[in-house]
Amino acid sequence: MPRSIPVATLRGTVIRFHWTFVLFISAALVAALLTSGPAASGTLLALITAMFLCIILHEFGHITAARLFGIPTPEIMLLPIGGLAKLRRIPLEPKEELAIAVAGPLVSFVLFAGLILILGRQPDWEAIPTFNQDQFNLVEQLAVFNLAVGLFNLIPAFPMDGGRILRAMLAVNLPRPRATWIAARIGQAIAILIAGLGLFAGNPILAVIGVFIFFAAQSEARIDAMRNAIGGVSIGQVMVADRPRLKVSDPLLNAADLILHSDYEEIPVIEMDGALAGFLLRTDLDDAIVQFGPASTVRQAMQKDVPKMAVQSQADKAADMIEAGASAVGVIDRNGHFEGLVTKSTLLDALGVNSAMWPDHDALSHKPFEEQLKA
């Protein structure tokens, strides 16, 4: 099964189903069919479809706000725990991040208010978790769902909107790295409470959500520290230039041999004139061979819409792109020819050098990587 399935494109943003989302929906429908019959399964399908339409609207709240600040939004990924709008770059201005983060929950609260007006009464809170067929009301269920989504996303922990709202508010008076560090630690403390509550209450889903939030907060802090460590240097100083390359006309079997005999997660794919065409990801290889056949070319399997930066560009911009969801950033010269690439691991290497050279300070107070290179 592919990692994700594109299902629609809306206003230039691709909506994708992650494979875990497809698995989750399938399992839920089969369980409802076996335990309660076809009618219950159909009702559940209608409810899940409506819920995820609301999630898409929530994510388009973020997207609309991001576009007001000139930030492209290439895709939305739907996961079992909700949606994720991927931005081409992370907003660094507090007011921009605050506006984008608030927009999603605001949409959910507006949907809640509109559905309550349609319902014409307060929801029956006791009927919601039971999914009683005799008392089922789609409008009522959706109203409570949107209220829950809006409130849950205001929890001040990454990757929820509340974590970004907290960081934006702290960044008004603090340096962004310090604001991120504080917000991440608060988020991790909340994650521990959520996981502990899930274990105490015998709710494994809540425990898993707590663990997910904990590591997401940790990742957010590391990426921001990474950006701080490489501030001021060009991307050419942190890129990897000696990565093996594939041509667009190479057969997938050649690509399989190259990837399987290395530990690389992404291989740059080059046009015949030397221009960067895209990246072939290890995670896409098996699916591509099954879908297109081993004799097909790399062009058919590669990711074409990849971020590119000029070799003179600032490296922290690449960190923004990777934080926003890019697996790698291609580095090109003024003629568009491939020079190298930057991944999360290469940036973490820069952070590691920074930590090694300044062991007496934490990542938030390191001298910029540019000063290290001059030393």
Residues tagged in the binding site annotation:
58, 62, 161
Specify binding-site residues for Zn(2+): 58, 62, 161
59 is catalytic: yes
Instruction: State the Cα–Cα distance between residues 219 and 325, nearest whole angstrom.
Output: 12
Catalytic residue, candidates 59, 75, 96, 339: 59
Locate tokens 């701080």: which residue? 228
**145-167 burial code (b ≥16 CB/10 A, e <16):** bbbebbebbbbbbbbbbbbbbbb
Locate tokens 């291609």: which residue? 330
Instruction: State the Cα–Cα distance between residues 252 and 323, nearest whole angstrom.
Output: 29
Q: HSE of 46 in the Cβ direction (CA atoms, 13 Å)?
A: 13
Helix (H, G, I), strand (E, B) or coil at 205: helix
Q: Per the structure block, which two tokens stand in for 92? A: 């660094």
CA 349 to chain centre: 22
List all residues 6 or more positions away from 305 whose beta carbon is below 8 Å from its beta carbon: 74, 278
Catalytic residues: 59
